[in-house]
Amino acid sequence: MNIFITGIAGFLGSNLAHYLADRNHKVFGNDNFIGGYKDNLSKKFIFYETDCCDFNNMKKILKDIDIVIHCAATAYEGLSVFSPSFVTKNIYEASVSTFSAAIENKVKKIIFCSSMARYGEQAFPFTEDMKTIPQDPYGIAKVAAEQTLRNLCDVHGIDWTILVPHNIVGPRQKYDDPYRNVLSIFLNRMLLKKPAIIYGDGTQKRCFSYVDDCIRCIEQTIENTNTSKQIINIGPDEEFITIKELANKCANVTGFNSQHIFHKDRPQEVKFATCSSNKARKLIGYKTKFNLDKSIELTCEYIKKRGPKEFDYQLELEIVNDKTPETWKNKLI
């Protein structure tokens, strides 16, 4: 199959591209390098440096593609209340442009990576039948993109699946980005001999999923007709852990034991967030193969091998006021 992955230099996109190319799919992809790493790319797939918002170019490069997996995004939930224009453009506009170009090229199916941010603050674990009540521009843009995808695919007769990953971790994730990816930030800081920085009291809870476990779900979505026109959470609902406990585990793995630093909560941060994976278990035989300790160990090995790095504040804060975290305003991470 000819499979096109947007955001192919990013964490999920690149891991998926390597995996699918190794299984005899012809893999294509694009990226604009807002995020991701160039060394995530490989000669095993065909790469275009193109912005998803550039509809005309997307239309050209999606010619003869069977499946589009839309991973490109500015996956910045916390930052999205401070840089809403930047985040919304690269979530909503980029998605609509990609979907339109894919539909114009009569692809068989579009798979969209949404986010757990679609559920907002409600009883957990979140299930796919819950209403969407996103709490920030990131989640709002993802939900708008989902609705536009379903609308366009229904009108034009194209198959779709919406996947809802959450807190994926593992190699090829950007670890020098101060605005997101808590596990990679903790590990990178500790390898730089700096303590973890925690927002609030650290009792907020999350689940983490290892990237290979997610990728197997995405692969299933390409071929398995049970996933047609379905919204499916992917990621474990096991090992629900506080952010403070996560920092402690990182300290053990890196051998850097120092008091964590606590900062004011970030606005709109959901306290307890985890998704039920029951639908994924039922439809695509989802099974967690990597537990949290192993996931932390493998992520740490990757950062050590590539080399810990100082944090890169390349993104612009559009709104700077007393609500903006000091860590970002004053570049403390």
Ligand X SMILES: NC(=O)c1ccc[n+]([C@@H]2O[C@H](COP(=O)([O-])OP(=O)(O)OC[C@H]3O[C@@H](n4cnc5c(N)ncnc54)[C@H](O)[C@@H]3O)[C@@H](O)[C@H]2O)c1
302: closest CA among 184, 181, 177?
184
32: closest CA among 86, 103, 100, 110?
86
Vertex 271 angle, CA 324 and 128, to 5°: 115
Footprint (CB under 6 A) of ligand X, residues 255-294: none
CB of 258 vs ligand X, minimal distance in Å: 26
Given candidates 52, 62, 234, 280, which one binds ligand X under the rule CB under 6 A? 52
- Residue 237's SS3 state is coil
Kindly indicate which of the ranges 34-42, 124-132, 277-285, 308-316 contains the residues binding ligand X, using the contact rule CB under 6 A. 34-42
CB of 17 vs ligand X, minimal distance in Å: 11
Residue 70 vs 256, nearer CB to ligand X: 70
For residue 261, the tally of other CB atoms under 10 A from its CB is 15
14: closest CA among 88, 71, 81, 60?
71
Given candidates 32, 80, 83, 295, which one binds ligand X under the rule CB under 6 A? 32
CB of 322 vs ligand X, minimal distance in Å: 28
CB of 210 vs ligand X, minimal distance in Å: 11
**Cα separations in angstroms, 24 against 2, 3, 202:** 10, 11, 44
Instruction: State yes or no: residue 236 binds ligand X (CB under 6 A).
Output: no
Instruction: State yes or no: residue 115 binds ligand X (CB under 6 A).
Output: yes
Instruction: State yes or no: residue 165 binds ligand X (CB under 6 A).
Output: yes
Q: What is the DSSP letter of 78?
A: G
Residue 167 vs 204, nearer CB to ligand X: 167
Instruction: State yes or no: residue 53 binds ligand X (CB under 6 A).
Output: yes
Name residues whose C-beta falls within 8 Å of residue 31's C-beta, 6 or more positions apart in sequence: 6, 7, 8, 9, 10, 13, 41, 47, 49, 72
Name residues whose C-beta falls within 8 Å of residue 314's C-beta, 6 or more positions apart in sequence: none
Q: Are 77 and 136 in contact (CB under 8 A)?
A: yes
Instruction: State yes or no: residue 51 binds ligand X (CB under 6 A).
Output: yes
Site string for ligand X, 55-84 (x = CB under 6 A): ----------------xxxxx---------
Instruction: State yes or no: residue 90 binds ligand X (CB under 6 A).
Output: yes
Given candidates 83, 132, 167, 274, which one binds ligand X under the rule CB under 6 A? 167
CA gap 124, 224 in Å, rounded: 28
Kindly indicate which of the ranges 11-19, 198-206, 265-273, 306-314 contains the residues binding ligand X, using the contact rule CB under 6 A. 11-19
Instruction: State yes or no: residue 171 binds ligand X (CB under 6 A).
Output: no
CB of 179 vs ligand X, minimal distance in Å: 10
Helix (H) or strand (E) holding 42: none
Instruction: State yes or no: residue 10 binds ligand X (CB under 6 A).
Output: yes
Instruction: State yes or no: residue 134 binds ligand X (CB under 6 A).
Output: no
Q: Which residue is nearest to ligand X (CB)?
A: 10
Any idea which residue has 């550039």 for tokens?
A: 54
Given candidates 18, 25, 174, 244, which one binds ligand X under the rule CB under 6 A? 174
Instruction: State yes or no: residue 143 binds ligand X (CB under 6 A).
Output: no
Instruction: State yes or no: residue 101 binds ligand X (CB under 6 A).
Output: no
CB of 93 vs ligand X, minimal distance in Å: 8
- Is the peptide bond prior to 125 cis by the omega test (within 30 degrees of 0)? yes
CA gap 186, 254 in Å, rounded: 10
Q: Work out the burial of residue 283: count CB atoms within 10 Å of its CB; fewer than 13 is exposed, 13-18 middle, 19 or more buried.
A: middle
Residue numbers of the site for ligand X (CB under 6 A)? Answer: 7, 9-13, 30-36, 51-53, 71-75, 90, 94, 113, 115, 165-168, 174
